[in-house]
C-alpha cells in the first residue's frame, strides 16, 4: 500500500515537471514567433521604402517627425505595400528619428526608423525586448522608452 502511494506520488510529480517544461517551451516559442513577426514586418516596410527611394522619391518629403507621416499611405497608394502591417499588440508603426546603437552599442547618431507606437509598445514585454536585442543586429532592436508605457521596437529604414 505504501509503495503504491509512493509510486503514485512520483508519477504525479513527474507529470507536473513535464507540464511545467512544456509550458516554458510554449512561452519561449510564442516569444520567438512574436519577435520574428515584428522583424519580418519591419523588413517588409524597409524594403518597400528602399524600392520607393530607388524610384526617385525623397523619403524626407513623406517622413516627417513633427506630425503624422504620409509615408505609409504613399507606400500603399502607389503599390509598394499592399497593406500596412499592424504590429503585435495592435496600434500602428510610425516613422521617427532615433539614436540607435551601431556595432558594440556605439551610438551612430539619429537614424530614420519605423517603430511601434505607444499603443503597441505597451504589449512588448521585457522578455520580447530581450529577444530582439539578443540577436545583436544593426537593423533592428528594442528600447525602453521612458515617455511610453512600454518598450519600443524599431527597424532601420534606408
User: Does pLDDT of 75 surpass 60?
Assistant: yes
**E strand or H helix that includes residue 98:** strand 93-101
SS3 56: coil
CB neighbours of residue 9 within 10 Å? 10
Helix-strand-coil percent breakdown of the chain, rounded to 5?
50, 20, 30
Cell of 16: 507536473
pLDDT tens figures, 126-149 = 888 888 888 878 888 888 766 666
Element (DSSP H or E) covering residue 97: strand 93-101
The Cα 85–Cα 92 span in angstroms is: 8
User: What is the structure's pLDDT at 151?
Assistant: 86
8-55 pLDDT, tens digit each: 777 777 777 767 776 766 666 777 888 888 899 999 999 999 999 999
Q: Rounded to whole angstroms, how far apart are CA atoms 131 and 83? A: 26
Mean pLDDT (the chain) is 80
**How would residue 103 be classed by pLDDT, with cut points 50, 70 and 90?**
low
Amino acid at each position: 500500500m505504501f509503495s503504491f502511494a509512493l509510486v503514485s506520488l512520483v508519477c504525479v510529480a513527474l507529470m507536473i515537471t513535464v507540464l511545467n517544461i512544456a509550458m516554458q517551451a510554449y512561452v519561449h516559442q510564442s516569444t520567438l514567433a512574436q519577435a520574428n513577426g515584428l522583424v519580418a514586418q519591419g523588413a517588409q516596410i524597409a524594403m518597400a521604402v528602399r524600392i520607393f527611394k530607388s524610384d526617385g522619391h525623397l523619403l524626407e518629403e513623406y517622413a516627417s517627425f513633427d506630425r503624422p507621416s504620409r509615408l505609409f499611405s504613399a507606400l500603399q497608394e502607389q503599390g509598394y505595400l499592399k497593406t500596412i502591417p499592424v504590429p503585435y499588440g495592435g496600434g500602428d508603426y510610425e516613422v521617427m528619428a532615433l539614436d540607435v546603437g551601431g556595432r558594440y552599442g556605439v551610438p551612430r547618431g539619429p537614424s530614420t526608423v519605423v517603430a511601434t507606437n505607444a499603443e503597441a509598445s505597451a504589449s512588448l514585454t521585457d522578455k520580447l525586448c530581450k529577444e530582439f536585442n539578443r540577436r545583436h543586429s544593426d537593423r533592428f532592436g528594442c528600447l525602453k522608452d521612458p515617455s511610453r508605457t512600454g518598450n519600443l521596437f524599431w527597424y532601420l529604414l534606408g
